[in-house]
Structure 1
């Protein structure tokens, strides 16, 4: 059975490569450890011959090749999974995910796989990693407040038309109207338009000298 090591399994020794008979073998009953070791060809033969040996164990399978070790460079472009384990990541795309074990210390778990015989992703710890750079969130600029209209004075009273209430004035021509608060005391309220309002508004009353007071009441 010691001669079984390193040989390649064939279905029958007669079908083995005649230039390399000694490198082949065939199982007669693998469960019982009964094998046929190929040799030859013998003189006058054109095919390999065989001899039976028993009590043999199947030759060990070569270990699966290990993937290259992951490093912090493999963190770029990955998406952090909300779960603690890589086993919860999408098994169809393991290498697209990672999970911080200790972000402050730069220790991350990179997902990979699935490994042979497994249906879920595995994880490998790497250390010394920097947090992926994320552009800081910039809130939209705050629009400037609407500019306030210049303060109205008694000089703005000239040429205006008296109205009972400023809000009843034509909203397209608010500046053409005014209210009378107390004619005897020459107190008036000038109408004006204000942003965001659909009707004219009025300012606080101002006291005007008789020379500025309107002479015509409509």
Structure 2
């Protein structure tokens, strides 16, 4: 089979499934939220939440297999070229990192982008930070709430920790003490630096373009200083 044809088929598949799988990732996150936060509810709801998580993960796994088949590549090469797909399959809570592909797949159905480049970068970084922060807070809360010497006792504590970690503030008033919690913290620090850098760089670039356009227009009134006679 021709390589271009394989790439086209893979691109078409991604365009069809990216948005449904994104909603599926939100359902997965909702089921995980029930498992972690709703400890006092009837057991049937917790079991239904687990079933929903497993169903969504099977959908992610099926999508991964289809991508592998449509790519026409052997598994080692596919793993190298699609490492993010593999990471998301292993850790479904990281699916917000695929928001760029979700936006691209949706945008291909339209004639032109509705947002400017800078607005898209800021919106992507903002939504990604919110979803990753919430998922990280859930995971850390599950790992820390019963650990000896833990400082994160409530989900509110975990959300506060996630906010200060993603924004690279790091007050240190609440910190993870378990190995799992600290591993998640390292990942969130890296994501926070990358997202903050993307937002700052995009905003700075936008400001430079605005001032550059103002400079190109030149001063008003032919360059005469204010109050100068005509």
What TM-score comes out, normalization by structure 1 length? 0.17
Which of the two has greater strand per residue?
1
Which one has a bigger Cα radius of gyration?
1
Which of the two has greater helix per residue?
2
What TM-score comes out, normalization by structure 2 length? 0.16
